Structure 1
């Protein structure tokens, strides 16, 4: 059989979805995508994503790879419009392109970037797309503490318990808060890889710095402890976006 591998770039609003990965009794992005691909190409198609996102988390850019057999490359590349017609409105295909047979959406990614959105006044247009925080935060102190993260590699203190990861080491390349014109905040973070729940736990810890309950030295001690119970609580999923995934050949 003539099998060819492709990358598919998608975006999705995760509000009504239970994350990326297929799971029983819950609608996920992967389930919807695989069903649409299988119907469109008239063969069983199983995709593999660049990572996991939890229920309620959004993605501006997400890649997956899949194989199809005995279909001309030009037909597959021109398929996004037809596949979009088969997907829920919360999921959109941006493009499909051919890659080498050994290309891997998860293992070949060299970096991933996330944003976490926080707003401070009730806004119906930010419902389920940003976290409404009721209180004041010190942006300067939070950015000082965020900069500390670049000095560490082991982020066990921000990892969800009982995960089957080989290592908790990550190389964070940037981490900072930015204030928008309307006073809302966006936390930007980029790394070679992320642990499960890592970004939301980092933001939750930095929020404690913004409230004055922790200082920069405390954050250093928390990361050094490698103990999840020392860090802050995870912030809600609604404000988290996967915004960019990079590959050496894309």
Structure 2
């Protein structure tokens, strides 16, 4: 009998056609699509566990999930076959064997997102960015973003009625850059709350447009009140971009 082994899959996807990552009733999701492809390849159901959720319309340049399988896999053949089954919006980038108790969600130590804003119409980025006809002040937004590193309770940026035990997150870095006519917001933390990054971006853009002062960011966070923060930025500009795990969980 073959030994059951655990594998980490790294994948990318364009989230536009999907109702987020996680399987749900009466909605087509990335997880459902990937599990269906694995079932076709292995000829049996193979459940997967992702590193975390992404909402409807949100993309991922790097998402990670794990699954168990009895025995070795021919990696190159497997990736080529699964990518041939999957739709064009989803691609498998790599597969690695990990320790049997490694967990794609609970073992992640850092997660990164970026958010893209474009300042002029671009048909090639229509579903991949937030189009803004007004150019916010990056210096003000970066000044306000510094407040994120001073706090750990971000209830004010969380979706209401979400099932979490606490709202604490450790943010390691957060800031904006302007590049080739785009504004890019990068943020890295140990965990994120549902809707958190989009709420942060929406609030920072309001500050950048002069609707609030950069100093207001501390007050918003301390309020722990979602209604005090800005409107959520549109989903299409958000990308899950990197997930970091301890090297010792990998077996290859």
The TM-score normalised by the length of structure 2 is: 0.95
In structure 1, the gaps of 5 or more residues are: none
- Residue 8 of structure 2 is matched in structure 1 by 7
Deviating beyond 4 angstroms after TM superposition, the runs of 4 or more aligned structure 1 residues are: none
Shift of 1:76: 5.3
Q: Where do residues 72-151 of structure 1 align in structure 2 (5 Å cutoff)?
A: 72-75=71-74, 78-151=77-150
1:97-129 deviations in Å (ceiling 9; x for gaps): 111110000000000000000011111011110
The whole-number CA distance in structure 1 between the counterparts of 2:109 and 2:168 is: 14
- Residue 21 of structure 1 is matched in structure 2 by 22
Shift of 1:216: 2.1
The whole-number CA distance in structure 2 between the counterparts of 1:10 and 1:158 is: 27
- Residue 195 of structure 1 is matched in structure 2 by 193
The whole-number CA distance in structure 2 between the counterparts of 1:81 and 1:18 is: 25
1:51-72 deviations in Å (ceiling 9; x for gaps): 0000100000000001123xx3
Q: Where do residues 152-163 of structure 1 align in structure 2 (5 Å cutoff)?
A: 152-163=151-162
- Residue 228 of structure 1 is matched in structure 2 by 226
1:77–1:97 Cα contact (<8 Å) kept: no
The whole-number CA distance in structure 2 between the counterparts of 1:212 and 1:112 is: 30
Q: How many residues align?
A: 247
Q: Does 1:38 align with 2:36?
A: no
1:77–1:98 Cα contact (<8 Å) kept: no
Q: CA RMSD in A?
A: 1.2
Shift of 1:41: 1.3
Q: Where do residues 229-244 of structure 1 align in structure 2 (5 Å cutoff)?
A: 229-244=227-242
Shift of 1:26: 1.5
Q: 1:219 aligns with which of 217, 220, 223?
A: 217
Q: Secondary structure at the match of 1:80?
A: helix
Moved more, 74-83 or 132-141: 74-83
The whole-number CA distance in structure 1 between the counterparts of 2:118 and 2:172 is: 25
Check 1:47–1:77 CA distance in 2 against 1; reply closer, same or farther (3 A cut): farther
1:16-49 deviations in Å (ceiling 9; x for gaps): 1111001122111000100111111122100000
In structure 2, the gaps of 5 or more residues are: none
- Residue 180 of structure 1 is matched in structure 2 by 179
1:8–1:93 Cα contact (<8 Å) kept: yes
